[in-house]
Amino acid sequence: MRQMSIKSGLRASQVGDEANQKDYYDKAVHYDTCWGLDNIHTGYYPHLSAHFPSSSDYAPLEFKQAAFTLNGHMINVGRINRNDTVLDVGCGKGHGPVQIARQTGAKVVGIDIGTSNIVRCKEYAAQNPELDLTYEEASFTDIPAHLKNKYSVIFAQLAINHYHTDLHSVFEEFKSVMAPGARCVFNDYLGSDRPGGEMSDDTKEHVLKRLHFDVLHGHREWRRIAEDCGFYFQYYENLDDHMVQSYKDLSHTAYQNGFKSADGAELGKNYAETVEAIMRGEIGMNLAVMTLEPRVYFNGVDTKDMNDMRGPHGTYHNCAYPLGPK
Ligand SMILES: C[S@@+](CC[C@H](N)C(=O)[O-])C[C@H]1O[C@@H](n2cnc3c(N)ncnc32)[C@H](O)[C@@H]1O
């Protein structure tokens, strides 16, 4: 039985010489080569998406480009703009914050439990003083009091997945730093929707162990917990296909470079098995925009005043303008 400490955010999960997930990220040497400079999230591929015109079918992106496109897509669906103050929880080496700050002019605060990640974030921020970027080594399971401001956006890419055992507590911690009308813009690594979250031994061996995951919820359970915590979904997208494409691309690069995981396994094989796990429905990925109010506010405009036709789980990105007289 693993020890869980929601306060520190660390849980003992020895794999080779890695004691826990912080140790994994601090020691990881493959990310810049395989995933792109400073990036630790998967990609968004327009040719797989219903949101983009079909002409995109002719121009599949490479993985590193797709990782930037995911940032941009999250900025769009989260409607992040220069009036926002964003808290990126589990910001890694700053790939998301840099693009948010550059593309929108928003103020971004990033926290991460990884010592080497935050060193890299601060180095980049110092070299780019025109961007409003602040970073701190901290756990989002216990956000330090001096950072407990009220943020208009809580942003996370593939970080919450380390705490699905305590997903309720993590969502409650985020609620404590949300300003009125704030939205959460989350991209998370998921498990299976099968009864009991059932997974094969191959998936446990090649996915869960390597990433120091203990429990991963599937799409349905993840949404159920969020709604249980009082969140309303303003947007939800299943990114399983994008995850398949990402890990196919990553597998090639990892094999080419001969990277190994802490248990000695070929990283390329781990990634190829991840593709199989997604195809079996044992692993998945989502993108969600959630609020604590049933409706969202943008730039002071109460969307209740907009004469749109959305259902409770509809997307809102087509509803920026009133459609008719009240
Ligand atoms: C897959 S990486 C994603 C990093 C970044 N969001 C990105 O997309 O490039 C997950 C990150 O979550 C961080 N993390 C894990 N547990 C954390 C915690 N309790 N508090 C803060 N960061 C945490 C890890 O150090 C790692 O940088």
Domain ranges of the chain: 21-294, 297-326
State mean pLDDT over 43-70.
Answer: 81
Atom of ligand 1 nearest to the CA of 8: 19
Q: Domain 21-294 class? A: alpha beta
113 Cβ inside 6 Å of ligand 1: yes
Residue 274 pLDDT exceeds 60: yes
What is the pLDDT, as a whole number, of residue 52? 66
Q: Report the pLDDT value the prediction gives residue 139, as an integer from 0 to 100.
A: 95
pLDDT greater than 70 at residue 312: no
**Residue 302: pLDDT above 70?**
no
- Ligand 1: which atom is nearest the Cα of residue 114? 25
pLDDT mean over 91-95: 97
Q: What is the pLDDT of residue 305?
A: 47
Question: Would you state the pLDDT for residue 50?
Answer: 73
Cα 202 to averaged position of ligand 1 atoms, centre (Å): 24
pLDDT tens sequence across 129-155: 999 999 999 999 999 999 988 999 999
Residue 10 CB less than 6 A away from ligand 1:
no
Beta carbons within 8 Å of 196's beta carbon, 6+ residues apart: none
The per-residue pLDDT of the chain, averaged, comes to: 86
**Token reading at 5:** 């400490």
User: What's the chain look like in SS3?
Assistant: CCCECCCCCCECCCECCECCHHHHHHHCCCHHHHHCCCCCCCCCCHHHCCCCCHHHHHCCCCHHHHHHHHHHHHHHHCCCCCCCEEEEECCCCCHHHHHHHHHHCCEEEEEECCHHHHHHHHHHHHHCCCCCEEEEECCCCCCCHHHCCCEEEEEEECCHHHHHHHHHHHHHHHHCCEEEEEEEEEEEEECECCHHHCCCHHHHHHHHHHHCCCCCECHHHHHHHHHHCCCEEEEEEECHHHHHHHHHHHHHHHHHHCCECCCCCEHHHHHHHHHHHHHCCCCEEEEEEEECCCCCEECCEEHHHCCCCCCCCCCCCCCCCCCCCC
pTM (predicted TM-score) = 0.88
Please compute the mean of the pLDDT values over residues 223-241 and round it to a whole number.
96
Residue 202: the pLDDT is 92
Is 112 close to ligand 1, i.e. is its CB under 6 Å away? yes
